[in-house]
Chain A
Amino acid sequence: MSTGAKKRIMREYNECTADTPAGMKINFDEQNMTEWEILLDGPDQSIYAGGHFKLKMTFPTEYPFKPPVVSFKTKIYHPNVSNDDKGSMCLGMLRADEWKPPNKVVAVLRLIQALLIEPNADDAIEPSIANEYKENRKEFEKNAKDWVKRYAK
């Protein structure tokens, strides 16, 4: 990783700590600055309220010319998070072809939070969950809350 990229990550981190979105905590290790651990509380107005989610944000070697990779370490029932051991979230600005080098990490954090409040079923990674979200919202909410209780307490 180039020194420019490291400088950029450092600056992004400083900006994030100065302006951390509510309900979020970033664990930053200067020895391994390309992997951030993010602790995220389910937003109050969302069905994930009360849950505590652990996320990992990984900065690729090519950062900022490639997007950071976001993955949920805590299982979550969500159309935009893959239902596997990776728990990857890849949409919008996190997609390689939509990522812009000037994008800020704090904007990524806000995107994650916004997606918990309102999933994007049209750009889903889990089509069956997305379907359920669109067609049987009750069932979806029940399942999501169920998972929060099971995995995210």
Chain B
Amino acid sequence: MSGPAYMPSDEELANLQKLSNEYQPEVTGPLVGERQSSSAITTEYANADPVYRVKTAALPSKYAYFRTCRGDGHCGWRAIAFTYYEALLRVGDVGLFQQEQARLKSMHNLLNAANFPEHVYIDFVDEAFELLDKLQNSVRLMDGTGADTLLQAFNDMSVAMAIITYFKLLASAWIQAYPDEFVPYMEYNQDIKTYCSLNIEAAQCEIDHIGIAALAEAIIKPAGFALEVLYLDRSPGEEINTYRYDPSGHDGNPQTLRLLYRPGHYDILYKAEDVQQPLPVPSQAPLQVALAGYTDEFVPMASNMPDVMTLIPGMYPTGIGQRWPSVSYDYNSTPAPQPQMTPVPTYAPAPTPASSVASSHQEYVTPVHASHVNHHNPPTHHSIQLEPPVTLPIHPPPPMTIERAPQMTVERGGPFRPSMYELEPGFHSGQPHALPFQTSIFRNSHYNTAHFLNPDFQPEEWSPDAEYATGNRGRHKSTSQ
């Protein structure tokens, strides 16, 4: 940025300075874009400097998707604020929303201590909290609109700027409250107040590493999230350098906000597992069992029809839920209408992951179903016992069981109160073989991977361990042999 400090009296230089101050790069595109395949980045650099080419070539395999942020000087701040909200949405826990609101409110003390007048910052706080409220409501209702709401909010200049400003003020207040952690990274003897005023609070300043660290400490880590910044620059090496901030005292795999830095610009990155993509229809069997009570009416009609439709280019935008609702699931009666049943069509198959990511709300509804299915376990256990041979593994697609498992534990919004057994360690891990695929209709259909007509045919294998693992199943041993 242009420093006002060294303005020489030389007229020409002053003029240049003035021009550079007034220069506004022409910026186009949405403030925050739709999520897209990161192979676009590789393509973009295909003709670039070899260092970039090598580094970007490996990118899509590790980070499947990215999202652009408009490079208007706010992109770094915007990317972090956006991904923070997005991570909250991804966790999908109303409790966490409330916890975060309480925590952010308590940070007003910090803002006051940094001498920001409340009547000034309250406007920014209001916008930030309004969006939190909206997303929280969407999570509570499970209406799947959260992702769209979030994207819209961040594409509304005044809302987005208010939220960004709020984040900046928090960062500044945090730095001033914990100067010892940040002073070593500033220029020698720089006054911390001046630093914050010029590099954090200023309306038009790109985020620097101190700003990122402050946001990580003030906002992201306490929420239980991790932040990862990938530096795509011309430094030697074949790998993109990564810097990571991990939340303290968080075991396992925290939600991770990922930024891609290219000199002067930040975008948002996603690993494939961050984004739960819709899976092909056969693997969506759990859904059918979620309707376990009504399997009599369940007719898996026209299941290959969505396949055809999604093959049509451009036929896979966000609105898919409205496009062909309940094409593949036709149940005549729904004795207990449950709001979370409505996004069923979001399970429509995706021929290519790349095109499917555009539909942004899908990943937020999946955990709901997953856990919902869980609550239905007792009846399915029952049916397993009636038909012992069916208890054999059905080879659910790996992403279902592995990646969604952690999500189940945080979901609290279902229609059922959590059972005390859920609290027991290993409750979820013990599920795979009991995944409720096993209705007789499903078992005998070619959707079952154990069916010879299934394209992913995998014969059933008898596993003595699984068979004898649970005591109550042992008594059926004789029939299953």
B contact residues around A99 at 8 Å (CB): 202-204
A102 and B4 contact, CB distance less than 8 A: no
Interchain CA distance A127-B9 in the complex, whole Å: 6
Q: How many A-B residue pairs have CB under 8 A?
A: 77
Residue B123 is within 8 A (CB to CB) of chain A in the complex: yes
Residue B11 is within 8 A (CB to CB) of chain A in the complex: yes
Known A7-B123, A97-B2; judge A127-B203 contact (CB<8 A).
no
| B15-38 contact mask (Cβ, 8 Å, vs A): 1 or 0 | 000100110000000000000000
Interface centre among A4, A62, A100, A123 (most CB of B within 10 A): A100
**Would you call the interface of chain A mostly helix, strand, loop, or mixed?**
loop
For chain A, the bracket of interface size reads: 20 to 34
Interchain CA distance A131-B9 in the complex, whole Å: 7
B127 and A95 contact, CB distance less than 8 A: no
B197 and A4 contact, CB distance less than 8 A: no
B contact residues around A67 at 8 Å (CB): 203
Interchain CA distance A66-B127 in the complex, whole Å: 18
For chain B, the bracket of interface size reads: 20 to 34
Residue B1 is within 8 A (CB to CB) of chain A in the complex: yes
Smallest Cβ-Cβ distance to A1: which chain B residue: B158
Interchain CA distance A76-B262 in the complex, whole Å: 46
Q: How far is the CB of A84 from chain B (nearest CB, A)?
A: 13
Smallest Cβ-Cβ distance to B203: which chain A residue: A99
Q: How far is the CB of B481 from chain A (nearest CB, A)?
A: 72
Known A5-B158, A65-B161; judge A97-B21 contact (CB<8 A).
yes
Smallest Cβ-Cβ distance to B169: which chain A residue: A102
B204 and A97 contact, CB distance less than 8 A: yes
A130 and B9 contact, CB distance less than 8 A: yes
A8 and B123 contact, CB distance less than 8 A: yes
A contact residues around B120 at 8 Å (CB): 8, 102, 104
Residue B335 is within 8 A (CB to CB) of chain A in the complex: no
Interchain CA distance A11-B161 in the complex, whole Å: 19
B contact residues around A91 at 8 Å (CB): 4
Smallest Cβ-Cβ distance to B116: which chain A residue: A102
B contact residues around A101 at 8 Å (CB): 124, 161, 165, 201, 203
| A101-116 contact mask (Cβ, 8 Å, vs B): 1 or 0 | 1101000000000000
- Which A1-20 residues have a C-beta within 8 angstroms of B? 2, 4-5, 7-8, 11
Residue B7 is within 8 A (CB to CB) of chain A in the complex: yes
Smallest Cβ-Cβ distance to A130: which chain B residue: B9
A contact residues around B22 at 8 Å (CB): 96
A contact residues around B382 at 8 Å (CB): none
Q: List 26 A-B contacts (CB under 8 A).
A: A2-B159, A4-B123, A4-B126, A5-B158, A7-B123, A11-B119, A64-B165, A64-B203, A65-B158, A92-B4, A96-B204, A97-B202, A97-B203, A98-B202, A100-B197, A100-B202, A100-B203, A101-B124, A101-B201, A102-B116, A102-B201, A122-B7, A123-B4, A123-B7, A125-B18, A131-B9
A contacts, CB < 8 Å to B: 2, 4-5, 7-8, 11, 62, 64-67, 91-92, 95-102, 104, 122-125, 127-128, 130-131, 134
Identify the 7 closest CB pairs spanning chains A and B, nearest first: A2-B158, A100-B201, A65-B161, A101-B165, A97-B204, A102-B120, A127-B11
B contacts, CB < 8 Å to A: 1-2, 4, 7, 9-11, 14, 18, 21-22, 116-117, 119-121, 123-124, 126-127, 157-159, 161-162, 165, 169, 197-198, 201-205
